[in-house]
Structures are given as structure tokens and as C-alpha cells.
Structure 1
Amino acid sequence: MQLIADSGSSKTDWRIVLPDGSIQQHRGVGFNPTYQSSEEMSKLLRDDFLLGISSDVQTIHYYGAGCSSEGMKLQVENSLRTVFAHAKIFIEHDLLAAARATCGREPGIACILGTGSNSCDYDGIEIVHSTPAPGYVLGDEGGGAYIGRRFLQDFIHQEMSSDIYKRAKEELNLDYNEIIDRVYKQPFAGRYMASFCRFISKYKSDPYCYLLYYNAFQEFFKKYIFKYPDWQIRQVNFVGSIAFYNSDILRNAAAEAGINVNLILESPIAGLTLYHKQ
């Protein structure tokens, strides 16, 4: 039995490939070794679904946010071993998940626009180059945390349309002191900031909300896509909820920037399952 995981900071998609080729699925909490210790991740892995299959899983292909160094990969592997003691475990970065899911075994540029953002140049086998992605404090342009942060800044300074400001007050019950507490004192500030993208997407027909996404995508292109060789003639693929649920704005922004967008997927898990079944 194979277990495949695509894990971001907000959620993890799990797929089981049974010996007869059939597939089962499960969605659980997200993991990121940049912000969580092995002990914290181990506790979250004590999930009824995972515990129920722990003795049957022979191989695990885990793709995760934050798994960019051997130390981070080992941290995740140690956490998984508390549940899957006898499985063969392969840990890879979520960028490779995006590349394998969208490009398969063909070259291309793969991007993540979810809670955070990232990108890579993929040669059909492995990642040959990626631009540094310093996270929600110093980066994540185009990602949910970045867009949510800009929204909260504008709310605090009342630098948004009066209609959106009014709706935010009524629907989100935003309070300055709570915002400061959640961003600076509570864990998972990036996840908190990204949560406001549901509200922003709901009203993306409003010019203010539309431009939050549009401008963030343009910033992403400048920081990432434009730095890859021959980006003008290559296919660019995206995975992640921000890209998927705002694909209309993303495609408009990309067209104006001269970027050739190919696939936009909400999650790479289906493509990864196909990749490993083959």
C-alpha cells in the first residue's frame, strides 16, 4: 500500500493507493517544519484515519511546505515514523509536488499560490533552479498570507473602498486589538492572514478586491517568473487555492505580463497520485 501526501501550511491531502489500484482519500491539518517542531507534528499525526492504516502502509511519498533542507526533511520523517514505524518514507519539497503534478515528465515552470508562494524551473526530472521564498514575513508575494496582510493593513488605515470597509466590519467583526494579537502573539499568523482571502474573493468584482489579487500576482511575476530563462516562450503552471479560485484574475494578469499559463490546479494531489501509479 502506498500513501501519498501533499502538505501545505493550512491542510494536507492524503491518498492511499491500494494493491488493486483503487484509491482512498483524506484531508487533514497542514504541517510546516519551519514553524512546528517534530513533537507538535507528531501530535497532529495522531489522526484516526492515519492510525487506522499505519500497519498496512509500505511506502510513503510525502511532499511538504518547508521541506527544503535535509534537516527539515528529517524532522518530518521522524514525525511520520511515530505513526508509520516500518514504512519506507520519501520526503520532498512541495515545489517538486507542483512540478510533478502539472508537468509530469516534461519541462516547465511550476508555481505555488496558496497560503504562501513559491516557484521552480523543472527539467522533467528534477528542479534545476528555484528563486528563494522567504515566507510570509519577508515574501510570499501572490500568496494568501501576502494578500491578507495587505488587506489588514488597508483595513487598519481605512485605505479601501467604503463599501468593502463596511462589509468587512459587518461580516468579519474585525477589531484592531484582535488583529494585532493574532498576527504578533498567536501561532500561524500566515494562516490567519490568508483566511481573509475568502472574503476578498467573495467581493472580487469590487475594484479594490480585484486589484488586491491583480497587483499581488504582478508582484509574484516580478519576483519569480521573470527571473527564469526564456520564461516568455515556456509554459507556466500553478497549483494552490489562491491561483485556482482566482484563476480569472491570474490569467488576466499573466496575459498582460506576456506569460503563457497552462494548468491551474487547486491541489497537486491528483497529479501526484497519477505520477506515482505510473
Structure 2
Amino acid sequence: MIVIADGGSTKTNWCLINEAGRKILFNTEGYNPYFSSTEYIVESLRKSLPDHLEVEKLTEVNYYGAGCSTDAKRKIVADAMKQIFVNAEINIGHDLLASCRALLGDEPGFAAILGTGTNSCLYDGTDISLNIDSLGYFLGDEGSGCFIGKRILSDYMKGYMPKGLRESFYDNFALTNEDIFDHIYNKPLPNRFCASFSKFLYDYKDNYEEYTFSTIEYAFTAFFENLVIHYPNYKDYTLNCVGSVGYSFRDILSVVADKYEMGIGKIIRSPIDDLVNYHLNSAKKK
């Protein structure tokens, strides 16, 4: 039995392929090694993996994760997986490569992640050929849920948010400015905290279309200005994207992409189905 997993900073989508070839899907929280230690990942997996999952029978685990971009960060995750999946071969890759394989398969092109965080690259059909670092939630991640959430929080705290939306925000979260500062500066996973508010805006978008459009357009314009347009000949590619933010606001993403003369390709919420198919097809070719 093998497992394929796509791990973002917030959620990990897993697919078990059993001896009969049946696909069994399940989820856990996300494990970004910039924020999660080996010990934390082990404890979380022990609590959240399905009871019916016979971990000792797994022979291969292919895990693609946010933050798994260096040997040191991959080791944090690999060491945790080895403690859980004791008999399996452990393969740790970057979630950006998972997105490329899900979006483009064996074809070259441009791929991006717009979820809790942001990432982007050129893909040569086998591997990532060029990646401009998005610099994470503190210095960059333009276009991400965290980037949008920070803008929402700033508007709420400064009183710039439309009155009715601001009241709904407080009704939903009952957060004071002091509470928000405490979450951002003193509590763990501030990127996930900020990103959670992009869903709030999506839920209220029909009632506050102008505010929603301006906020999301600002984020996606920053994504293009700081990342996309710096790729050589970017207009020669279509914009292929994975992630809840890109998918949920794909209408606005299309408007912004059109301004930069970049066509829209494949936009999906999660890569797991296409990623599993990629691995199954690759296995058939061996």
C-alpha cells in the first residue's frame, strides 16, 4: 500500500492506494517545517490519522509539503514520517513540485500556489527550472490567504472596512485589536491565523462586492508585480494555479491576469486527485 500526500501550511490532503487499487482520501492539518517541529508533526499525526489506517503495512509514502524546499526542512518532516510509517520508504518533496505535476503533468509551463501562502515557478516537464522566492508571510507571499488576511485585519483595526462588514467581522470573531496583536506576535502559526480571514471575505463577497474586488485585486496585482512578471517571457505561458484562494477568487484572478496579458490555464482547489493520477501513470511507465 502506498500513500500520496499534498501538505499546505493549513491542511494536508492524503490518498491511500490499497492492495486492490482503491483510493481512500483523508485529511490532517498542514505541516510546514518552518513552523512545525518533528515532535509536533508526530504528535499531530498520531492524533489525526484514521483509526483504520494500518500504518505498518504501508510500503511507500510520497509527501509533498509547504516549506519542504531544503534538505534541512525536508529532514524535519521525514524524521516525523519515519516514526509513524515505520516500514515505508519515505519520499519528501516540495508542494510546488506537487502542484506542477498536478497542473502540467509532463508538459512544461508556469505553475503557482495561491493558498495560505504563495509560490510560483517555471516547470520543464520534469522538475522546477526557475523559482522566484515568495519570501514567506512576513516579507512576501503576495496574493496568498495570509496576504489578504493581513489586509482585512488592517482594515478592520483601522476602521477602513465597510461598517456593515466590520460589524459582521466582530459578530463572527469578537476580536479586539489587542487580541489580534496577541495572535500575531505571541501565539503559534500566525500565518494560518491571518489566512483564515480570507474565507470570511469570500463568505460575504456577494454583499460587499466593491470591497471584495478591491481587496482581492490588490493582492493579485501584488502577486503579478512582485513575482509573475519577473519570470522570463511570462506572457508566453498560461497561468496554472493550485490553492483555495486562487480557486475561490478565480474570477478576479482572471481579470488581473488579463491586464498583464497572461492567459488562464488550469485552476484547481487541491492537487491531490491529479497528483495521484500522475503517480499512477508514472508507475505504469516504469
TM range (shorter): over 0.9
> 1:137 aligns to what?
138
- Measured against aligned partners, the alpha-carbon deviations of 1:61-86 in whole angstroms (never above 9, x if no partner) come to 10000100001111111000111112
In structure 1, the residue matched to 2:16 is: 16
- For 1:158, the equivalent position in structure 2 comes to 159
Which residues of structure 2 form unaligned runs of 5+? 282-286
Structure 1 pair 215/48, CA: closer, same or farther in 2 (3 Å)? closer
Q: Does 1:123 align with 2:124?
A: yes
1:235-246 equivalences in 2 (<5 Å): 235-246=238-249
Instruction: Give the distance between the partners of 2:56 and 2:213, measured in 1 at CA.
Output: 48
Match of residue 264, structure 2, among 253, 261, 272: 261
Give me the whole-angstrom Cα distance separating, in 1, the residues matched to 2:220 and 2:278. 28
| Cα displacement (A) at 1:224 | 1.5
Question: Following TM superposition, by how much is the alpha carbon of 1:228 offset from its aligned partner in structure 2, in angstroms?
Answer: 1.2
Task: After superposition, give the CA deviation of every residue in 1:173-195 in whole Å (9 maximum; x if it has no partner).
Answer: 23111111111111011111111
For the Cα contact (< 8 Å) 1:51–1:83, is it kept in 2?
A: no
Q: Deviations over 1:27-70 (max 9, x none)?
A: 11110111111111111111342783211111111000010000
SS of alignment partner, residue 49 of structure 1: coil
1:138-161 alpha-carbon deviations (Å, 9 max, x no partner) = 111100111000111111111222
**Residue equivalent to 2:252:** 249
- What's 2:232 paired with? 229
Given that 1:99 and 1:110 are in contact with CA atoms closer than 8 Å, whether structure 2 keeps it comes out as yes
Q: Contact 2:134 / 2:227 at 8 angstroms: preserved in 1?
A: no
| Aligned equivalent of 2:26 | 26
Q: CA RMSD in A?
A: 1.3
Gaps in structure 1 of 5+ consecutive residues:
none
The size of the alignment, in residue pairs, is 278
- Distance in 1 between the 2:220 and 2:83 partners? 39
- The 5 A counterparts of 1:178-193 are 178-193=179-194
**TM-score using structure 2 length:** 0.94
- Provide the C-alpha distance between the structure 2 equivalents of 1:222 and 1:229, rounded to a whole number of angstroms: 13
* Cα-to-partner distance string for 1:212-235 (whole Å, 9 max, x where unaligned): 111100100111111112211212
Structure 2 CA distance for aligned equivalents of residues 162 and 45 of structure 1: 42
Contact 2:134/2:142 (CA < 8 Å) preserved in 1?
no
SS of residue in 1 equivalent to 2:241: strand
| Cα distance change on mapping 1:25 and 1:2 into 2, 3 Å | same
TM-score (norm: length of structure 1): 0.96
